[in-house]
């Protein structure tokens, strides 16, 4: 399973009336994402508000999205890891039993393990789950950067660790990983703004937030780069940047959920401690949407 170049970190739809997980709408959203260029879904990640989902909800959401993804020939990578290694092993095994194609190994937050702790944490989870793992380095949401040496050690020593989602924006570090990783080890950008730069270094693709709205355009941008047309890729990149910036004008996925609701794909509100979008951020998001051709197919009102 190569997972594909364009993976979308999917939001978790909640019922706007009671805040409960809306599995039917999750299926509709998953289908729309595949229809607009997504090749695989990262489910129960940060964009999916994983810290607010119970393990029962996570497994239900994974089961629902697996049904759609496998019918479309796509993949589901499950966000099953936290700062608790034992709990991460248990949830990863349950997700593997459901049939997920991989798991996302997010650098632990709050307890701030050293590099050796990161190595042992991910090694233990990957070996126990026995499905492919994609590491996830995101220093902005955890106190610890996973250094290139640790990522490369995991890539070399744990056979089912197959790639990394790199959101550090440290291109020296990212370049070292791409240069020195074993054959077949993939590096996906964790930031929509970094896709072209990452691919210029030899990166493979992206785990995207913006692909909820402009998936076909992101796919076109990456294909232009692969086809040897970096000018075309840069042109699309610059056109999409106002939208990308707007999606992170306040804590993600607040702007994204607002945007999806506005274009007709109802996904409900964010759960506390995230709150509805503030007026200033809403105005920025509205302006970006007005200037953007949205790719996502949404239900036509009766």
The DSSP output letter for 186 is: E
Pure H helices in 72-205: 85-98, 115-129, 148-157, 171-180, 195-200
258 catalytic per annotation = no
Check residue 4 and give left, alpha or beta (phi > 0: left; psi -120 to 50: alpha).
left
The single residue of 165, 204, 257, 258 carrying the catalytic annotation is: 165
* C-alpha 161, offset from chain centre: 17
- Cβ atoms of 107 and 144 closer than 8 Å: yes
> Two tokens at 51?
């810290």
Tokens 């050796």 sit at which residue? 116
Tokens 């009766």 sit at which residue? 302
165 catalytic per annotation = yes
The single residue of 20, 27, 83, 136 carrying the catalytic annotation is: 136
Quote the Cα angle for 118-84-116, to 5°: 15
> Two tokens at 300?
């036509």
What is the per-residue burial (b if ≥16 Cβ within 10 Å, else e) of 53-92? Answer: beeebbbbbbebbbebbeebebbbbbbbbbbebeebbbbb
Quote the Cα angle for 137-141-145, to 5°: 40
Cα gap 236→216, rounded to integer Å: 11
**Can you tell me whether residue 34 is helix, strand or coil?**
helix
Active site residues: 136, 165
């Amino acid at each position: 399973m190569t997972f594909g170049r364009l993976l979308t970190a999917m939001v978790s739809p909640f019922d706007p009336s009671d805040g409960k997980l809306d599995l039917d709408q999750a299926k509709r959203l998953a289908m729309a994402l595949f229809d607009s260029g997504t090749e695989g879904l990262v489910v129960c990640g940060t964009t999916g508000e994983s810290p607010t989902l119970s393990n029962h909800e996570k497994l239900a959401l994974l089961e629902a999205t697996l049904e759609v993804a496998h019918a479309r020939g796509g993949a589901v990578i499950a966000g099953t890891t936290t700062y608790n290694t034992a709990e991460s092993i248990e949830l990863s095994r349950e997700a593997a039993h459901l049939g997920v194609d991989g798991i996302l190994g997010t650098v632990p937050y709050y307890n701030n393990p050293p590099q050796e702790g990161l190595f042992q944490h991910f090694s233990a989870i990957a070996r126990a789950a026995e499905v492919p793992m994609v590491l996830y380095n995101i220093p902005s949401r955890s106190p610890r950067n996973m250094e290139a040496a640790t990522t490369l050690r995991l890539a070399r020593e744990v056979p089912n660790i197959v790639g990394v989602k790199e959101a550090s924006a440290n291109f020296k570090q990212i370049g070292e990983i791409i240069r020195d990783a074993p054959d077949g080890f993939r590096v996906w950008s964790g930031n929509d703004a970094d896709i072209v730069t990452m691919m210029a270094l030899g990166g493979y693709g992206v785990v995207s937030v913006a692909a909820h709205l402009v998936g076909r355009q992101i796919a076109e941008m990456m294909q232009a780069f692969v086809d040897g047309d970096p000018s075309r890729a840069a042109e699309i990149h610059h056109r999409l940047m106002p939208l990308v910036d707007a999606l992170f004008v306040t804590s993600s996925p607040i702007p994204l959920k607002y945007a999806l609701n506005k274009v007709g794909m109802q996904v409900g509100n964010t759960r506390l401690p995230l709150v509805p979008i503030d007026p200033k951020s809403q105005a920025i998001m509205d302006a970006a949407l007005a200037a953007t051709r949205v790719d996502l197919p949404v239900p036509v009102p009766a």
